[in-house]
Structure 1
């Protein structure tokens, strides 16, 4: 199927991947915005139609055809970057993941990654495509407690950027409900003092390694999509996260584009720098993270990369 044919089918509802496309007003807005960038739109839609399992991906992400018309990943991404990034993501994931795992991730239900076994209870990691984060990444990694309370979520995209395989993090946030603060504090205690966001970041670094990424880049307070002109007044008042401080706490450094470059492996404090009375606690933390890494690799049916944890850094 060509990009032009997909465009026609979306406008006529021959292709209706979600309720968004039931609305004539939404279809008209899509058509009008496409007229301002006809060549880019056709090239982008053609790229989508050439993607393996295009129909399944569209059902999972009905707004995918509109992404060229919205801010995406970072305010530094422009039309050409966005189109390439999205098409790259599906090409990369399809080439690395076993076919059954790829199909399962893009099925109707969230993909269960693994449990996080704490001192007294379990938390759980899920990989999904969530509409709430469709402008901040193609995949969402989520951590929940045993009661289903969201503890942390992160959205990211895999792409080739400046000739480097890259994992780009567009969002990282904690829980949003009234009970989330208490749940996060309880989960941190249960996980030997490791914050849920830290666990997610460890898993994201692992995913980057599994997909042979050469760099991990994260949006910052200055480059998050809510800083774009489109959302500056509507969404910025909702902004509560401090990305910069968190990225720096895990060893990230700002680049000239005001994004953060994260280490491919988050460094761990060596034993000789830990007071003897605290070493047992650190061992339990690191063992928890290692157990999660092993479980993620087994679930994705990918070989676990070599462990590189000898970099000295004040952590956890």
Structure 2
């Protein structure tokens, strides 16, 4: 690639990402000049695969988001690029064509359905991160009814030892202003799910994904390390602790890689029916997820 080609490509990328803002294009151009051609070249290299090329063409913001906080606070630009590389390296290696097409071209994959009665249908969906959350991770898993109940952003990761895992970078509920009925929906869901809250079910879903791909760890960002820590309302530290997580370092929590079920014999008699219902539904959800991830 010649210098002229390089400069032209940078301008093309800027035009694709900021079609209505010359100021933002210039800002992006100087960021590339500051950090060098290498970062842009590496992003191009990540998606230089027939299975991934359409992703970068439809989402050129992969070139720009590396210049902003990504995944968690304190991640340097080379590590941001590496995080994106590790995620898509996993996708290329472990995802079949059907799953990849559903998530990145049809925009979502329904992993499982939960039905409490004929009128209440809940769906567990995996989708590519929307523009609103694109710097918080590459994927979103959420529970939807007529609208989103709750979701988490995450990446597939690889540590220095080569162990693959999941990194949860955020958790979002629906807007109480736009969907005031969400609180009642969550109560209804929890009651009918045998006392299991939606956020706990999402963590269960991630343990099923981890088990399916034989991943080694599930980590989650601390509140203070969230890239939008001043704006988020959820105390993530409390949430992860409630899920059985323990502090790993100043940035992350470590969550259990397997869902821990209580022995029915150790549960109070008046609550056994509730737990049996919960576990039966979790078995159904797990079977659906495994099928969705592996069916070709």
Report the TM-score when normalising by structure 2: 0.88
Would you say the 8 A contact 1:7–1:45 is kept in 2? no
**Aligned residue among 84, 95, 98 for 1:97:** 95
Cα distance 1:185–1:42, how it changes in 2: closer, same or farther (>3 A)? same
The 5 Å alignment of 1:187-206 reads 187-206=189-208
Aligned to 1:141: 141
Aligned to 1:30: 28
Cα distance 1:285–1:5, how it changes in 2: closer, same or farther (>3 A)? farther
The reply to whether residue 157 of structure 1 matches residue 150 of structure 2 is no
**Aligned residue among 62, 65, 72 for 2:63:** 65
Deviations 1:233-266 (CA, angstroms, capped at 9, x unpaired): xxx1x32101111111111100123410011112
CA RMSD between the two structures: 2.6
Would you say the 8 A contact 1:13–1:21 is kept in 2? no
Would you say the 8 A contact 2:155–2:167 is kept in 1? yes
Aligned to 2:210: 208
**Aligned residue among 280, 294, 300 for 2:287:** 294
Aligned to 2:236: 243
Would you say the 8 A contact 2:51–2:92 is kept in 1? no
Deviations 1:249-308 (CA, angstroms, capped at 9, x unpaired): 1111001234100111121211122012211110111111111111111112269xxxxx
Quote how far apart the aligned CAs of 1:7 are. Answer: 6.9
Quote how far apart the aligned CAs of 1:175 are. Answer: 1.8
Give SS of 2:60's match.
coil
Instruction: Figure out how many residues of one structure are paired with residues of the other and give that number.
Output: 290
Cα distance 1:295–1:78, how it changes in 2: closer, same or farther (>3 A)? same
Aligned to 1:267: 260
Cα distance 1:52–1:218, how it changes in 2: closer, same or farther (>3 A)? farther
Note the residue ranges of structure 2 that are not aligned, 5 or more in a row.
none
In structure 1, C-alpha distance between the alignment counterparts of 2:61 and 2:250, rounded to whole Å: 28
Cα distance 1:254–1:6, how it changes in 2: closer, same or farther (>3 A)? farther
Aligned to 2:171: 172
Would you say the 8 A contact 2:248–2:254 is kept in 1? yes
**Aligned residue among 215, 219, 223 for 1:221:** 223
Note the residue ranges of structure 1 that are not aligned, 5 or more in a row.
228-235, 304-316
Cα distance 1:181–1:14, how it changes in 2: closer, same or farther (>3 A)? closer
Deviations 1:100-137 (CA, angstroms, capped at 9, x unpaired): 22122110432222212235622111111122211111
Cα distance 1:76–1:287, how it changes in 2: closer, same or farther (>3 A)? farther
Would you say the 8 A contact 1:143–1:196 is kept in 2? yes
Cα distance 1:122–1:48, how it changes in 2: closer, same or farther (>3 A)? same
Aligned to 2:39: 41
